[in-house]
Amino acid sequence: MKQPDTAALRERLANYTPEEETDRRIAELRDLLKEISAVKDSMADIITGFTHAVADLQKKDIGARVHPDTLKALNEICTNFVVEVGKQLMAHRDRQLELQKKHEERIARMLKRNKGVWVSDGWMKILIVCILLYTGISFIHSFL
């Protein structure tokens, strides 16, 4: 195995002074600071130009004119739309009222025939019999 040549490294170490390296790094940092300052100035110029362009656009008037016949047609379209929606809402309300009447009639028929979930005479008899059976069985079970 061949030994690496360390003569060049020893020579560099012999000539090395920390002050020179510090000075070199300080010079690099100063150059970098100048570049950052230049970029900052150019960004400020770009932002200023953009702000001026936006302000100029906001100041400009757009010359648009609408013909009176076009306004009348638009007004007529809006009026027709409102009338049509009103008709649809009235028809919907009428259908809902009709459905509500049918539902009320069906519930009234169920109540007349004592059907449904309501507590009617037939259900009341079954409930009383069940309660009496439960009470009797519980009473007998407690004495056994």
CA distance 95 to 93: 5
Neighbours of 116 (CB within 10 A): 13
User: What are the tens digits of pLDDT across the range 95-107?
Assistant: 999 999 999 999 8
**Type of residue found at 84:** E
CA distance 76 to 82: 10
Q: Where are the alpha helices (DSSP H) in the chain?
A: 7-15, 18-59, 68-112, 121-143
Tens of pLDDT along the chain (144 residues) come to 677 677 777 777 777 777 878 888 899 999 999 999 999 989 999 999 999 999 998 898 877 788 999 999 999 999 999 999 999 999 999 999 999 999 999 988 877 776 665 566 777 888 899 999 999 999 999 988
Q: Are 130 and 137 in contact (CB under 8 A)?
A: no
Q: Where are the alpha helices (DSSP H) in 16-67?
A: 18-59
Q: What is the pTM of this model?
A: 0.37
